[in-house]
Amino acid sequence: MPTLRLEVVTPTEKTYSEEVDMVTIPGADGEYGILPQHIPLITQLKPGALKIQRGGQESFLATGGGFAEVLPDRVSILTDMAMTAADVDESAAQAAIDRAKATLQDKSIGTEAQAEAEAMLARSLAQLHVKRHGHGQGVPDSR
Amino acid sequence: MANTREIRRRIKSVKNTQQITRALQMVSASKMPKAQAAARAGRDYATLLNRVLVSLRERVDQDSHPLLQQRPVKKELVILVSTNKGLCGALNTNLFRETSRLEKGRTDFISSGRKAAQYLARTRRAMLAEFEVKELPTLAEVRQISRFALDKFLSGEADKVTVAYTRFVNTLTQKPTLQTLLPISTDTLPEGAAELAEDRKNLKGTSADPENGYGYLFVPDDRSVLDAILPEYVHFQVYQMILNARASEHSARMVAMKNATDNAKTLIKDLTLEYNKVRQAAITTELLEITTAQMAVG
């Protein structure tokens, strides 16, 4: 069965680079399940969980906003954050959520800071989701 | 000939200087690999971003997006990226020489780094903003600078945005560079272009082959992807250039400080020789005096 090359890159590192069977990406319009031989596609990403299926195992990456490029044999994810469940610090993420929520309450800070806080909130939520989801189902991390 | 005490004092002072230069050399030597690695780490991201951007640009009209629009240049905005500290050889001087060629009346500046701010103040250039950038900045910190430049460009206060920085070639060579940031055009696409051409060759015959008119499917649509990706591209470019300047800084400082340390070593050697000569001459004179005195008495 053909496989997909999944690459996840952030501005500071290449986080993930493996052959996988299927990947589910959190696109702007909803989730996309990508199998090999998909038509070429470029989509915006929402902060969320990237689901990777590889050799019968599932693993998750928490990703921030960004872009995904899909080619028949390859999926490249460009994002500002990519973390495995093991990397996520639950209390730090929770603290970030609280902080971002507090910032959003404050209407005086201007749209720029608001957007920043919103992005922070979405990223932290994605981290927590991946952390708890991964644990809850006892899914072994393939990395 | 100077007296011994004078020479001893000079040796001591050169030794002190040598200690400082050696310490700085060590510090730079340890920071350099980290800065170089950081500058390289973004390469994958840059390549991908370039690929997406190029395929997008083929599908949309050049003038359809304000960030792609070429306007007659009445006012140019230059982001001057310098170091915060000195003692890095001719690095900043070379960069400032490049920027000094720009016309005074039609160029505004944004400074990043203390040396740039000092230079702009000294030469009485129009400085719109001053940013302090940390040793190894994060993308979020750099966004402030690029956001400011984007705003100026979009509001029409600047028709062209250029970044003046020192490009890292290798440890011994750093090149002062002026690179156009905005408007984004084909010739401002940096290094990734070669890899892109390579990629294209590999895509030949597949459904993603740009030649057969069947490009990417854009979600939600090409316009919104373009709207999102262009500013991101600008932010990332500035980030990359600042990291590059950092790698240059540490390499230049290490080399400059190594030279200084070596020079101090030669100087100490010469001075020590001089000192010994003077000392010996003094002893000889003294001995002669004693003998002569004794002979006179005897």
Give pLDDT, residue B209.
52
Are A69 and B48 an interchain contact pair (Cβ–Cβ within 8 Å)? yes
How many helical (H) and strand (E) elements, i.e. helices and strands, does chain B have?
Answer: 7, 6
Structure tokens given for B200: 């294209």
State phi, psi for B106 to the nearest 5 degrees: -110, 15
CATH of the domain at A142: 2.60.15.10
Which amino acid, residue B268? I
Judging contacts by C-beta atoms under 8 Å, the chain A residues touching residue B219 are 27-29, 32, 41-44
Give pLDDT, residue A142.
41
Distance CA A10, CA B134 (A): 20
Judging contacts by C-beta atoms under 8 Å, the chain A residues touching residue B206 are 71-72
**DSSP percent split of chain A into helix, strand, coil, nearest 5:** 35, 40, 25
pTM (2 d.p.):
0.81
Please, what is the average pLDDT of chain B?
A: 84
Indicate whether A120 pLDDT > 60: yes
Give pLDDT, residue B14.
95
* Average of per-residue pLDDT across A106-133: 75
Residue of A nearest to B148 (CA): A112
Note whether B87 and B93 are within 8 A (CB).
no
The residue range of the domain holding A134 is: 1-143
Q: Would you call A72 an interface residue with chain B, using a CB distance cutoff of 8 Å?
A: yes
Predicted confidence (pLDDT) per residue in B157-187, tens digit: 899 999 999 988 888 889 998 988 888 875 5
A and B: number of Cβ contacts within 8 A: 79
Judging contacts by C-beta atoms under 8 Å, the chain B residues touching residue A10 are 45
Indicate whether A12 pLDDT > 80: yes
Burial level of A45, CB count in 10 A (0-12/13-18/19+)?
A: buried
Predicted confidence (pLDDT) per residue in B54-104, tens digit: 777 666 666 677 888 888 888 899 999 999 988 888 999 999 998 888 888
Note whether B103 and B213 are within 8 A (CB).
no
Q: Tell me the residue ranges of DSSP E strands in chain B.
A: 76-81, 107-112, 126-131, 160-168, 174-182, 217-219
Domains and CATH numbers, chain B: 2-23+256-297 (1.10.287.80), 31-253 (3.40.1380.10)
CA distances from B246 to B79, B166, B223 (A): 15, 9, 35
Are A78 and B228 an interchain contact pair (Cβ–Cβ within 8 Å)? no
Distance CA B294, CA B275 (A): 29
Q: Give me the helix-helix angle, B222-297 and B43-59, nearest 10°.
A: 140
Predicted confidence (pLDDT) per residue in B247-290, tens digit: 999 999 999 999 999 999 999 999 999 999 999 999 999 999 99
Per DSSP, the three-state class of B224 is: helix
Predicted confidence (pLDDT) per residue in A19-50, tens digit: 999 999 988 888 889 999 888 888 888 888 88
Burial level of B148, CB count in 10 A (0-12/13-18/19+)?
A: middle
ipTM above 0.90, yes or no: no
Are B48 and A71 an interchain contact pair (Cβ–Cβ within 8 Å)? no
Are B219 and A42 an interchain contact pair (Cβ–Cβ within 8 Å)? yes
Predicted confidence (pLDDT) per residue in B100-117, tens digit: 888 888 899 999 989 999
Give how many domains chain A has, as a whole number: 1
Predicted confidence (pLDDT) per residue in B120-129, tens digit: 999 988 889 8
Contacts 24+ apart (CB under 8 A), B52-55: B52/A42, B52/A67, B52/A69, B52/A78, B52/B225, B52/B229, B53/B184, B53/B189, B53/B229, B53/B230, B53/B233, B54/B189, B54/B196, B55/A42, B55/B210, B55/B215, B55/B216
Are B219 and A80 an interchain contact pair (Cβ–Cβ within 8 Å)? no
* Average of per-residue pLDDT across B196-215: 54
Are B49 and A10 an interchain contact pair (Cβ–Cβ within 8 Å)? no
Segment of B135-139, B234-238, B290-294 carrying the highest mean pLDDT: B290-294
* Average of per-residue pLDDT across B8-27: 94
Distance CA B42, CA B48 (A): 10
Give pLDDT, residue B197.
58
Distance CA B25, CA B89 (A): 12
- Would residue B88 show up in a list of annotated catalytic residues for this protein? yes
Judging contacts by C-beta atoms under 8 Å, the chain A residues touching residue B56 are 42
Which residues in B have their CB inside 8 Å of a CB on A?
38, 41-42, 44-45, 48-49, 51-52, 55-56, 139-140, 147, 203, 206-208, 214-220, 224-225, 228-229, 232, 236, 239
Please, what is the average pLDDT of chain A?
A: 81
Per DSSP, the three-state class of A23 is: strand
Active site residue: B68, B81, B88, B95, which one? B88
Give pLDDT, residue B17.
94
pLDDT band for B140, please (50, 70, 90 cuts): confident
Indicate whether B211 pLDDT > 60: no
pLDDT band for B201, please (50, 70, 90 cuts): low
Per DSSP, the three-state class of B105 is: coil
Pairing of strands A41-45, A48-54: unpaired
**Element at A27 (helix H, strand E):** strand A22-27
Q: How far is B202 from chain A (nearest CA, A)?
A: 11
Which amino acid, residue B43? R
Indicate whether B207 pLDDT > 60: no
Judging contacts by C-beta atoms under 8 Å, the chain A residues touching residue B215 are 40
Are B139 and A44 an interchain contact pair (Cβ–Cβ within 8 Å)? no
